Amino acid sequence: MDDRKDKTVRQAIVEGIFYPAEKEELTALVESFTQNNIRGKSTLLYTPHAGYSAAGRLIGRAFSSASDRTISEVVIISPVHREENDMIILPRFKFFSSPLGKIPVNMKSLHLFQGEEKTIIRDDIPHLEEHAIEDQLPFIQHLFPEASILPVLMGKTTIKLAGKLASALERAYGDNRENVLFVVSGNLSTYTGKEDSLAVADRALSLFSRGDWRSIIEGSRAGEIEACGAGALSAVLKFLGKPLSMDVLDRFESVGKESEKGKTVAYGALSFIEE
């Protein structure tokens, strides 16, 4: 069967736009973003989602910081950018694809994660509309070729929903997470003026480094920070429940098109290691 017609496969939607559509070209690019990086044993990553011209180097550094671990599964949690609601969304797809091939969704983890929780649903349409998880896939395929994934979309950034997500992670991974890598796909700011973008990014990094999951959500709700992965990061920190050491591996600011009047997005590659 042509994979493009296989309804069990979530097809790539930003190949040729955010990154090369050709396998050989994409492989070479991912290798260039990972080959000389410092390797490590990170537990949790915060990685950007954008075109690789802006975010590729940062994504590569983030994933490299976990590449000394044996990883069998990667949990990727992304915010919902369109029509946020009070839901956590899993796919019905059994595979996610990139030009490098298909990655299986870990269905056992998916069912444990969902449990009987009514705020966790399965719906392919939101996953088809989001690029934030797809952006990470080529790096997983390159550095952890045997790993499966659990793709998760989180709606509104609220204490209640973060608690639901943390409980779901506990159901799925509370007994054994030795070979599991947790990844939050998020940017440090939204499009705004450069000085404002850098300021809100700095505030986000300050909050993240303290490791207080509730304060991160409160800062987001109050408009003090604009990091779109704040809710997901808070949930993972709550689930892990241990002090983590945060390392800012790299940062980058991307200025928008001329029509966007120089507005800027701040990106960061962050590594968290259990102390």
Q: What residue spans define the domains of the chain?
A: 3-274
- Lowest-confidence region among 5-9, 147-151, 154-158: 5-9
Give me the mean pLDDT over the 96-107 stretch.
98
pLDDT digits (tens, 9 = 90+) for 209-258: 999 999 999 999 999 999 999 999 999 999 999 889 999 999 998 765 54
pLDDT digits (tens, 9 = 90+) for 110-137: 999 999 999 999 999 999 999 999 999 9
Percent of the chain topping pLDDT 70: 94
pLDDT given at position 49: 94
Is the pLDDT reported for residue 140 higher than 50?
Answer: yes
4 band by pLDDT with thresholds 50, 70 and 90: low
pLDDT given at position 197: 79
pLDDT given at position 275: 78
Is the pLDDT reported for residue 1 higher than 50?
Answer: no
How many alpha carbons fall within 13 Å on the CB side of residue 103?
A: 31
pLDDT given at position 192: 61
- Lowest-confidence region among 91-100, 175-184, 186-195: 186-195
Angstrom distance (rounded) from CA 13 to CA 182: 23
5 band by pLDDT with thresholds 50, 70 and 90: confident
End-to-end CA distance of the chain: 48
- DSSP-based three-state secondary structure for 35: coil
- Average pLDDT over the chain reads 93
Angstrom distance (rounded) from CA 28 to CA 20: 10
Give me the mean pLDDT over the 90-104 stretch.
98
Assigned CATH topology for domain 3-274: Protocatechuate 4,5-dioxygenase; Chain B (3.40.830)
Angle at 260 between CA 195 and CA 216, to 5 degrees: 45
Bridge partner list, 273 = 245
Task: Give the residue among 46, 45, 39 at the shortest CA–CA distance from 69.
Answer: 39
